[in-house]
Amino acid sequence: MAEFERLSRDLVHKGAIIDYYKDTVKVPNGNVVKWDYIDHKGAAAVVPVTDDGKILMVKQYRNALNRETLEIPAGGLNGADEPTLDAAARELREETGYVSNDLELLITIRTTVAFCNEKIDIYVAKNLVKSEQDLDEDEFIDVYPMEIAELEEMIYSGKMEDSKTISAILAYKNKYCKN
């Protein structure tokens, strides 16, 4: 593999969720280029499966898209050292109002490798027990139990675009829904 050398990484903006940097990189032909880099603290998500096989989906407003989306529950880590299993369990309770002691790692994804290091560990939660939602003051979330077939139709018709949710649904179907 050709040699790349990062010469510098300069902080442009420190945000609540991400930090934005401008990297200076020497590429294999000797040229020096500037690349954007976004540092993300990491996240966890969960596919909550009810006893009858439905997946609990959350509908919430997403500012970047200026619309509501249907997604699996997810959220950022409270710190770089927070175990993603703990974060997934927290997001399950906060967003859906359910808890589970039966969480298993399904997949790990990197959302946008061209310019961001965001890593999301996605878990499957079974044996759900009803608790209470505990939403942040800026969260307004509705919960919908849905069949895998409904979700798959939404993926392939273009109605669902969230990459973590699409990855999670298809990985869950492939691993757990054998025909």
- Residue 137: is its pLDDT beyond 90? no
Give the helix ranges, DSSP H, for the chain: 84-96, 148-156, 163-176
The catalytic site residues sit at: 137
Whether residues 121 and 84 share a domain: the answer is: yes
Q: What is the mean pLDDT of the chain?
A: 95
Neighbours of 136 (CB within 10 A): 10
CATH number, domain containing residue 110: 3.90.79.10
Task: Give pLDDT tens digits for 62-121.
Answer: 999 999 999 999 999 998 899 999 999 999 999 999 999 999 999 999 999 999 999 999
pLDDT tens-digit series, residues 2-11: 799 999 999 9
| Neighbour-count burial for 144-170, b at 16+ CB within 10 Å, e otherwise | eeeebeebbebbeeeebebebbbbbbe
pLDDT of residue 1: 65
Domain residues for the domain of 169 are 41-176
Q: What is the pTM of this model?
A: 0.94
